[in-house]
Amino acid sequence: MKYIKGLIYSLLILFASCKTGSPDRIADHCNINEYSDRFSIIQNEGFSIIRVMNPWQGAKDKYLDYYISDDPSTIPPGIDGSQIIIRPIASIVCTSTTHIAMVDTLGEIEILKGVSGTEFVYDEELRSRIEDGVVYDIGYENGYNTELIFSIKPDVVLVYGVSGESVPAFSRLSDMGITVLYIADYLEDHPLARIEWIKVFGELLGKQDIAERIFGSVCGEYMEIVEKVADGGRLKPDVLLGLPFNDKWFISPGNSYIAKLIEDAGGRYLWAESQSDVSIPMSLEAVCQRATKADIWLNAGVAKSIDDIRLVDPRLGDLQVTAEGSVFNNNRRLNTNGGNDYWESGIVNPHIILKDLAFIFNPDIFPGYELSYYTELRDHSDSSDKREYQE
């Protein structure tokens, strides 16, 4: 008897932790996330709640609830229209390229009616739809065209909150009754937590099972690579990240998503010990000093060759890692306007990015592998010097 009582209490505690905004409703089922702690999907009788926790940078103990259902009559009364999503969804406007990748992975690309920065879209099918004029450009962070968004009449606008609620365009859209759903994928520190957001997209598009399956298979492949690296990774290279602007170098902290990828791929990030929610501005001198022992340089901004790096600052060319040509950038897949697929489909392919990195760090683990997102930067100056000399 005592045992049963204990069980009931623990169940009650479990339910309490998943409780919705109003205390009178008890959740039927709360899906437990494996990696992400920024959202939860709470199943109720006839409807479910997508709860987005701390949806923007710097948010503390803040959450937003969205009620989603196939049948409007199941939604509890008194919920504001801007928090309700009724399936099936006919149109979505999204503000981040990662949203495009999520929707595309679930096979619903034609549902996208507006995106931010159409010229930077990599996805070919969406590109052709943009050229056909059926997908609109809704503008950038500081200049969203709310009138255009309103005229598209989307069922939901997917946004990411850099500056939080302060974006007036979003609150205006909410006021007009348009559901503005915050997707906080980019705030996640773990690559698999980012892809876990596909569950939210699955819920939106009524493709929960497919989303679960995709998430499961990506996690499986990711873990397989992590194990292979642990078994066969002989080298543990020191890794430098990023590119300075002027004499300032914004360093990704050690608790960032890319630092996690480097660690899982068998590298040693030079700033692994640093902890911060945002990138840390450091002087070029300090970074170059630590970078003298770097073996691999990754994500060198817009650089397409080692010559580009020298043009940014000749002192970067003096680094041993540059001189040895061990610089790899994530810009193998660029569209004609410079839109980078790394920031688009990369979100749903953390296992491929991880494999790229693992191959860069330890080429012998994956013999014959070809890089997908990364590319080795070449040094043209040697050859051009020789040519001049011959002439």
Partner 1 sequence: MNIKNNIKHNGVLFPRTYIYMVLGLSLVVLFIVDLLTGSVYISFGDIIRALSGKAETDIINILCSFRLPRALTALLAGMALSVSGLQMQTVFRNPLAGPYVLGISSGASLGVAILILGLSSVMSVHISMAFNSWAIVGSAWIGSGLVLVLIMIVSVRVRDIMTVLILGIMFASAVSALVSIMQYFSDESMLKSFVIWTMGSLGNLSWQQLHILIISIIAGLFISMLTTKKLNALLLGEDHARSLGLKIRTARILIFISTSILAGSVTAFCGPLAFIGIAVPHICRLIFATSSHNYLIAGTMMLGSIALLLSDIISQLPGNGRILPVNSVTALIGIPVLIWIIVRRNKFVRLS
Q: Which residues bind partner 1 (CB under 8 A)?
A: 117, 119-120, 139-143, 162, 243, 245-248, 280-289, 292, 301-304, 308, 311-315, 318, 336-338
Which residues in 42-68 are b (16+ Cβ under 10 Å) and which e?
bbbeebbbbbbbbbbeebeeeebebbb
Q: What is the C-alpha to C-alpha distance for residues 198 and 343, in angstroms, rounded to an integer?
A: 15
In the complex, minimum distance from the CB of residue 292 to partner 1, in angstroms, rounded to a whole number: 8
CA 213 to chain centre: 19
Helix-strand-coil percent breakdown of the chain, rounded to 5?
A: 45, 20, 40
Sign of CA dihedral 57, 59, 63, 64: negative
Return the number of the residue (19 or 290) whose C-beta is nearest partner 1.
290
The helix/strand/coil state of 30 is: strand
Between 10 and 384, whose beta carbon lies closer to partner 1? Answer: 384
Q: Pick the closer one to partner 1 by CB: 218 or 287.
A: 287
Q: Tell me whether residue 357 or residue 377 sits nearer to partner 1 (CB atom).
A: 377
Q: How near is the Cβ of 282 to partner 1 at its closest, in Å?
A: 4
CB–CB of 76/137 below 8 Å?
no
Closest distance of CB 151 from partner 1, Å: 20
CB of 243 to partner 1, least distance (A): 7
Nearer to partner 1, 126 or 225 (CB): 126
Cα dihedral 332→333→338→340 (10° resolution): -110
Sign of the dihedral through C-alpha 99, 104, 108, 111: positive
The nearer residue to partner 1, 235 or 282, going by C-beta atoms, is 282
What distances in angstroms separate CA 128 from CA 119, 125, 148, 267, one per listed residue? 11, 5, 20, 39
Strand partners, 241: 298
* Closest distance to partner 1 from the beta carbon of 234 (Å): 29
d(CA 215, CA 201): 12
In whole angstroms, how close is the CB of 157 to partner 1 at the nearest point? 19
Smallest distance, partner 1 to C-beta of residue 312, A: 5
Q: What is the closest distance, in whole angstroms, from the C-beta atom of residue 247 to partner 1 in the complex? A: 3
Nearer to partner 1, 121 or 211 (CB): 121
Choice between 202 and 346, CB closer to partner 1: 346
Question: What is the 8-class DSSP label of residue 189?
Answer: S
Cβ(300)–Cβ(252) under 8 Å? no
What is the CB neighbour count within 10 angstroms for residue 83? 19
Q: Which two tokens stand for residue 337?
A: 């306007």
Query: Considering beta carbons, is residue 137 or 221 the nearer one to partner 1?
Result: 137
CB nearer to partner 1: give 45 or 247: 247
**In terms of CB distance, is 35 or 186 closer to partner 1?**
186
Q: Are 243 and 321 in contact (CB under 8 A)?
A: no
**Nearest CA to 241 among 221, 225, 257, 219?**
257
Q: Round to the nearest angstrom and report the end-to-end CA distance of the chain.
A: 95
CB 106 → partner 1: shortest distance, Å? 26
In angstroms, the CA 209 to CA 206 distance is 9
| Smallest distance, partner 1 to C-beta of residue 249, A | 9
Give min distance, CB of 306 to partner 1, in A.
12
